[in-house]
Amino acid sequence: MRALVLSDIHGSLEGLEAVLEAVGTVDAVWDLGDVVGYGASPNDVVEKMRSIGTLHVRGNHDRVAASLSSSLNFNPVARAAALWTQEALSPENMEWVREMPHGPVQPEGIAVSLVHGSPLDEDDYILSVRDAWAPLQQMTQPITFFGHTHVQGGFIQQGTAWRELIPEYRTRDTAETWELTISPESRYLINPGSAGQPRDGDWRVAAAVYDTEASTVTFHRLPYDIIKAQGKILMAGLPDRLALRLRDGK
C-alpha cells in the first residue's frame, strides 16, 4: 500500500495541488493536521481534503479556526489569520474542521501512528533529539508520522543510537525526491514537511509517501505557484508577512 502523508497545508490550494499532481495515484491519504490557517483558500483546501483524505488528525490551527480553543496563545499574525479563517469557512466546512479527530490515529492493520505535534501532546513541537527522546520511548507503534514544525525530516532510534533524519537534496528550484528505507530494528518519528508553508529554509512544498510493501518513505520537495498563493493572501487582506515568508521558506 502507498499512502500519501500530508501536513500543515494551511489553506494553500496551490501547495496541495502541486503535491497531488506530482505524487499521482496512491491508496490512501493521511492528513496530519493544520489544514487551515495562514493561507487564503481554506474552503477549497477543506473540500479537497474531504474528498480525498482517508484519515485526518486535527492541528492547533484547525482547533482554533473551529473555535474549539482560544487564539490568545497565537502570535498576532497567526491570530489574525485564525480569525479571518473563522469568518471565511462555510458552515459545512467549519463543521468538518470541528469534527477532525484528536491524535494519535492508527490506520487499520498498519503499524504506524498519525499525530499533529507529538504522540504525547498534540501541541508539542519536536525539533531536536532532546524533544524526540520521550516520544520515541513511549510510542505505541514503531513509526509515528508527525507535523506541526513545518520541517521535513525526523528522528531515528536504533538500540542506544539516536540520530536526526535530514533528507538530502541537490537543488532548491526543481522537483526532487529522497528515499528512506525503514529498518525493522529501528523506531521512527517522521515529518513529511509542510504542504503549504515550509519553515526549513526551502520554499518548495513538502510531502512524503509511505510504501508498506517496499518499507520505504519517499520524501518530496516540489515547486508550486507561489506568486498565485502570495497574491491570494494579499488580496484577502491577510498580514503581508504570511505572503512574504513563503519565498524564504521560513
Q: What is the pLDDT of residue 170?
A: 94
Q: What is the pLDDT of residue 209?
A: 98
Q: What is the pLDDT of residue 160?
A: 85
Low-confidence residues in the chain, pLDDT < 50: none
Q: What is the pLDDT of residue 79?
A: 95
Q: What is the CA radius of gyration of the chain?
A: 17
pLDDT in tens, 186-208: 999 999 999 999 999 999 999 99
Interior angle at CA 55, CA 52 and CA 129, nearest 5: 120
248 CB-side CA count, 13 A: 6
Report the distance separating Cα 145 and Cα 63, nearest Å.
Answer: 19
pLDDT in tens, 47-80: 999 999 999 999 999 999 999 999 888 999 999 9
Domain spans in the chain, listed from the N-terminal domain onward: 2-248
Q: What is the pLDDT of residue 99?
A: 96
Q: What is the pLDDT of residue 159?
A: 87
Q: What is the pLDDT of residue 138?
A: 92
Q: What is the pLDDT of residue 140?
A: 87
Q: What is the pLDDT of residue 199?
A: 96
Q: What is the pLDDT of residue 216?
A: 98
CATH architecture of 2-248: 4-Layer Sandwich (3.60)
Question: How are strands ordered across the β-sheet holding 2-6?
Answer: 55-56, 28-31, 2-6, 205-211, 216-222, 176-181
Interior angle at CA 242, CA 240 and CA 246, nearest 5: 115
CA 209 to mean position of chain CA atoms = 13
Residue with cell 498563493: 229
Q: Record the pTM.
A: 0.96
